[in-house]
Amino acid sequence: MRGVFDTDEYRYPQEQVVLALTLLAGLAVLVVTAAVTFCISPVFVLLFILLAYLATRSHHQALMRAAYPVTPQSAPGLAQLAEQCVARLQPGPVQMYVVRSERLNAYTFGLENPKVVVLYSALLELMDADELRFIIGHELGHVRLGHTWLNSLVGGLAGIPSSSVVNAILTMALLWWNRMCEFSADRAGLLACGRPEKAITALVKLVAGPAGRTRAGLEMAYRQIDAEDDTWMGSLGEALSSHPMLIRRINELRRYAASPQYQRLQALVDQNLA
């Protein structure tokens, strides 16, 4: 029998370097503050992580009341589509939910298995099947690459009680790492859908909203996205954000889609469908 092809090779090259730098900076601050505060600060970090864990759990419970799980009974088409993404990317145990909302959003969370992927219902109305595969694959990429639990750990370090300058630096480093994670997750999304042009229209539709149903609406949103990196305000905004500018994400996707590494990986993850 043919084995299942499992990989995290699509991870964006700088992701781990930035994570290492962020962790080192966090640990350095931890050691210094521990010395100054007679070892209270490490306790604080643990407390912070525990709080994050409890917040995640209560968030999960609140979600269970408002959302419905994606199963072959509740949403046959979507369940099948999600299954294909899971088969391609092999993220480990995942449970998917749909929450009713006009907003175009999806996210993943969870420190324990199964990890939870939440899709907002507006996505289901706006995106076609391949665009949904990209969105779901993006979230599964976060799961596969460990971003969900790493975020709690790194977030805990960034919350070390220290001077405001040090906290600002740690927060900026955390955001920098978050942006690298987005590039990695976009690559997973592309591998889940296998169609670079659909990965890009999915991102453009996030800006276009319902207007993205028409070609003119898509083109207008694309022009808006394309102008984002033309101003220094745009660049400043990006440095303070957990997500890169969309135009950078689109350009990174194009670059990756044209690479031999992508072609090879796509062929391999596609075999998981057979």
Q: Can you give the binding site for Zn ion, defined by CB under 5 A?
A: 182, 185
Q: How far is the CB of 108 from Zn ion (least distance, A)?
A: 8
Is 33 or 178 the residue whose CB approaches Zn ion more closely?
178
Half-sphere exposure of 240 (CA within 13 A, CB side): 6
Asked if residues 91 and 108 have their Cβ atoms less than 8 Å apart, the reply is no
Residue 98 backbone dihedrals phi, psi, to 5 degrees: -115, 130
Q: How far is the CB of 138 from Zn ion (least distance, A)?
A: 6
Is 98 or 140 the residue whose CB approaches Zn ion more closely?
140
Q: How far is the CB of 54 from Zn ion (least distance, A)?
A: 23
Q: How far is the CB of 189 from Zn ion (least distance, A)?
A: 9
Rg (CA), the chain: 20
Q: Which two tokens stand for residue 180?
A: 């690298």
Nearest Cα residue to 99 out of 73, 62, 133: 62
Please state, in angstroms and rounded to a whole number, the distance separating the CA atoms of residues 84 and 106.
18
Is 99 or 268 the residue whose CB approaches Zn ion more closely?
99
**Closest-approach residue to Zn ion (CB):** 185
Question: Strand 106-109 to strand 94-99: parallel, antiparallel, or no bridges (unpaired)?
Answer: unpaired
Is 86 or 185 the residue whose CB approaches Zn ion more closely?
185
Is 106 or 269 the residue whose CB approaches Zn ion more closely?
106
A 10 A CB-CB count for 243 gives: 13
Q: How far is the CB of 117 from Zn ion (least distance, A)?
A: 11
